Amino acid sequence: MAAIFALGLAVVSNGQDTVTAPYDPFTLPNWLKFEPGATILPNPPGKQEATTTSRWQTASCSQVNRIGRRIVSTNQIVEFYIPTFAALKDTSDIDYVEYYVRYGPKREKVWLQFMFGPLVDRHAPRDIHETAIRWTWRIWDCNGIEGRDVRGVSSGGIRWRYIDVPAGRFAAYDGVPTKAADYFDRILDTMCCGKCPLCK
């Protein structure tokens, strides 16, 4: 099944019939609204609606201008940049490191979490099977290494997002208000491909 978004319409084809329907931007995350070559997966994981772009190549960090404090994943697969003014704390042990970026005053704070290490489990939101949340996702690619960028939004505007980094492990926020999600997304959207000696 393929979908092309243009001129306010979604043209969906299953190989036999083509149906044209109004395009609702709310159903797609910001990174996909203007992304060419979008495809809709017929049976996404968790029986939720999922939308992805085929083989999205993330920019190399050496080719983009980033400002801020740098967070590097295990094996230097990807990097993120945190604003210098952001409230950032970190913790580590022999086999992992965690970073937390705070949004809001201390009594009402929510967090964006980064966790990297060879033994760190893959992250999944606690609400991944909640049918009231619309989940969308895309595949990102850094020189042959792939991961998933998954987003969720409830009817009330509460949002979720996690970026899976193979051998990494993840960057995520869970169940935060719109303003916090917008702030965290600006940080997550700085993701670029690191030097990664294991990449091809």
The answer as to whether 136 is a domain residue is yes
Q: Check whether residue 31 and residue 46 sit in a common domain.
A: yes
The answer as to whether 200 is a domain residue is no
Give the structural domain span for 98.
Answer: 56-193
Residue 63 has pLDDT above 60, yes or no: yes
Residue 9 has pLDDT above 60, yes or no: no
The model's pTM = 0.70
Q: Check whether residue 171 and residue 110 sit in a common domain.
A: yes
Tokens at residue 95, please? Answer: 């086999």
- If one counts the domains in the chain, the total is 2
Question: Which residues 6+ apart lie within 8 Å of 41 measured at CB?
Answer: 1, 50, 51, 52
Q: Check whether residue 91 and residue 15 sit in a common domain.
A: no
Residue 61 has pLDDT above 60, yes or no: yes
Final residue before a domain boundary, out of 36, 53, 70: 53
Confidence at 114, pLDDT banded by 50, 70, 90: very high
Tokens at residue 132, please? Answer: 């009231």
Q: Check whether residue 13 and residue 74 sit in a common domain.
A: no
**pLDDT tens per residue across span 17-42:** 433 333 333 333 443 333 333 333 33
